[in-house]
Amino acid sequence: MSPPPPSPAENTFDDGCATNVDTVQSWLTFLRESQLRDLLIPLRPGGKNPIHAHKAGQWTRENAISYPDWDRGDKGIGLLLTDLFVLDIDDVGLFDHYRELWAPHLDECALQKTKNGYHCIWKRNKRLDEANITDKARGVVVDGKSIDLDIKTVTASLVKDATGVAHYTSAVLVISSPFGNNDSNGKPKKQWIRDPRDPNVGLKEFP
């Protein structure tokens, strides 16, 4: 059985925060205190694409802190992934299958319910780095067949900045949807089941 849904939020946002500004502040604090290099970035209204260029260090933590328009509810909030590793499972039945197969890992990770499935979130570990596991759609193959599961994390692309230093680019994870948390059918877009900002949940390393 899938995890029970969380209690409905008393506001329009996905994580229990009253405004986008509260959401941003809570994530900035979490990322700083957890010593994670992942960055918050605003998303284009109604979409999943960042509103600003971010490759090769064009978007920094200082940009996220000083960005003036977080309170505009038409913008979603994304995370540029570096230290986080996410399995994006777009099917509840598939999640149930792998929840049993990979027990207890999917019952212990940070978990966000999406419109069609779940985001399962961990911190990257040395083993993933050594195996060069990077961002990839349909990135898991079982018995020679790709399954409906995307890997979201740092990408394999290297881009040089103005000084010639090479940076890996980051995949984007949408953590808060624009225009509130419900779609046109009234179905929640995203809700936290186990929020990594909750001290009782935290962020575990990928097993």
pLDDT 10s per residue in the chain (207 long)?
556 444 333 333 455 565 678 888 999 999 999 999 999 999 887 778 898 888 777 899 999 999 988 876 677 889 999 999 999 998 899 999 989 989 899 999 999 998 889 999 999 999 998 898 888 887 676 677 777 789 998 887 756 666 766 567 788 998 887 655 566 676 667 889 999 999 999 999 999
Which pLDDT score is estimated for 30? 95
- What phi-psi label fits residue 134: left (phi over 0), alpha (psi between -120 and 50 degrees) or beta? beta
Which pLDDT score is estimated for 10? 32
CA distance 64 to 52: 11
| Triad 197, 198, 202: Cα angle to 5° | 75
Which pLDDT score is estimated for 7? 36
**By C-alpha distance, which of 125, 170, 176, 117 is closest to 147?**
117
CA–CA distances in Å: residue 17 to residues 13, 21, 23, 186: 7, 9, 6, 19
Which pLDDT score is estimated for 5? 46
Which pLDDT score is estimated for 152? 92
